[in-house]
Amino acid sequence: MVKSDIQNIKLRFSIIGNAEGLNRAIDIAMQVAPTDLSVLITGESGVGKESFPQIIHQFSRRKHGQYIAVNCGAIPEGTIDSELFGHEKGSFTGAIGDRNGYFAEANGGTIFLDEVGELPLATQARLLRVLESGEYIKVGSSKVQKTDVRIVAATNVNLAEAIASGRFREDLFYRLNTVPITIPPLRERGADIALLFRKFASDFAEKYRMPAVQLTEDARAMLLAYPWPGNVRQLKNITEQISIIETHREINSSILQNYLPASAIDTRLPMLFGAKGTGGGGKTFESEREILYQVLFDMRRDMTELKKLVNTLMAERGNAPVASGSNTVPFMHESAYDLMPTPSTTINISPVKHGGGLARVDDDIQDTEEIVEETLSLDEVEKEMIRKALERHHGRRKNAAKDLKISERTLYRKIKEYGLE
């Protein structure tokens, strides 16, 4: 198909974008439209699959017939057969009269089965019969009905996995998948993201009678880098939010970041911008294991400083310094960390209280030892790193975020998550 024909299709069906994958999908839809072959459209939720069955119908010999779109995932399992194939009076409670199903109503036209992967197995067997012979039976009837319907189906379910788990019939898949059309996700469409944003911004400006929002270069770069798990639907919703809420019409990256859900880009640990491969400077950590060891070494240093402080206080009071033994705070030698399967610290503390101050422990007094063992999970390690950074910078979150090599927004979220406010 020539490029001008594809552009005309886009204008007619309000399809925005010039990505190669999108143009390829439109081309296949136009090529298959004059035939009666069944078509299976696949793609993630929100990519705009609903436009392609209409293209196929409008450019087929059935364009003057009925076009019916059915969301299979929105119909309860108990009534899906009745909705698709119809029922006889009295066939079930509430069936007060005969009813034609969608396949009868769409006779001579096209029926679009959206979310076909959600169909129950029994309904899949009925649908397979329609595809193979054009025959079906109403619920509660024994009379075979005939229909001449072009079936176009769509799904965001991985049907290969559904077949492997027994949730979808393999023979039905091959009947539906005569001609496959795959719609690319938004994150693979490059500059189309900015085109769509501009189109949506213009539409909402007209709808709400206000100037259209515009993106700065840094905001545009952020828009293109975001993964868009909700695809075009998510982009449209975010554009509408920005258009309504923001008073300034020029949107920079700081403003845009407030509307992009962090869950799509965050990891369990803070993002280390200085880490290997990020191009950042400063200290780097190449694995979670190194982060864990760094925290353990920090704790070891803190305990060493604490022991020195205790010795100093006892010396000032004329007491002997703390000797090695039950009253020390033992730590493993640094080389032992390489052999640890699970990081842990053991602190042995003996009571040395005397008159409210510090004193020596008499040899004839039996010490009572308290052993505290902590197994540090990754969450605890992360929490400890954040707490120490906040202490070093006296609660200044901007400086702490810079020290941790994470964004301020991620730090704020982690502070709230770990109750460090």
Count of CA atoms in the C-beta half-sphere (13 A) of 157: 21
**What ranges in 209-327 are assigned the alpha helix state H?**
217-225, 231-245, 253-257, 288-316
Instruction: Give the CATH class of 3-184.
Output: alpha beta
| 225-250: pLDDT as tens digits | 999 999 999 999 999 999 999 999 99
Q: How far apart are CA 307 and CA 223, in angstroms?
A: 52
% pLDDT > 90, the chain: 57
d(CA 292, CA 270): 13
Q: Whole-number mean pLDDT of the chain? A: 81
Contact criterion met (CB below 8 Å) for 53 and 238: no
Rg (CA), the chain: 33
Residues 6+ apart with CB under 8 A from 245: none
100-133: burial string, b at 16+ Cβ within 10 Å, e else: ebbbbebbebbbbbbbbbbbeeebbebbbebbee
Quote the pLDDT of residue 347.
42
Q: What are phi and psi of 277, to 5 degrees?
A: 95, -10
Residue 313 pLDDT: 75
pTM: 0.62
Domain boundaries, the chain: 3-184, 187-264, 288-316+326-353+367-417
- Predicted confidence (pLDDT) per residue in 361-394, tens digit: 444 444 444 434 444 566 777 888 888 888 888 8
Q: Which residue has the higher pLDDT, 350 or 32?
A: 32
Q: Please, what sign has the CA dihedral across residues 229, 235, 238, 242?
A: positive
The yes-or-no verdict on residue 216 having pLDDT over 90 is yes
Which of 10-19, 233-242, 410-419 shows the lowest mean pLDDT across its residues? 410-419
Nearest to 123 by CA among 163, 88, 72: 72
Mean pLDDT, residues 110-123: 96
**Average pLDDT of the segment spanning 261-282:** 47
Which distant-in-sequence residues (6+ apart) come within 8 Å of 367 by Cβ? 326, 327, 350, 351, 361
**Residue predicted with more confidence, 20 or 265:** 20
d(CA 382, CA 294): 11
β-pairing, 179-182 vs 150-155, is unpaired
- What is the domain class of 187-264 according to CATH? mainly alpha
Share of the chain above pLDDT 70, in %: 76
pLDDT digits (tens, 9 = 90+) for 70-113: 999 999 988 999 999 999 988 888 888 888 999 999 999 999 99
Arithmetic mean of pLDDT, 12-21: 94
Give the bridge partners for 135, in sequence order: 146
Q: What kind and span of H or E run contains 115?
A: none
pLDDT band, residue 312 (cuts 50/70/90):
confident
pLDDT at 265: 53
Residue 298: pLDDT band with limits 50, 70, 90: confident
What phi and psi, each to the nearest 5 degrees, are found at residue 346?
Answer: -120, 125
Q: Map residue 271 onto helix, strand or coil.
A: coil
* Rounded-to-integer distance, Cα 281 and Cα 405, Å: 9
* pLDDT tier, 348 (very low <50, low <70, confident <90, very high otherwise): very low
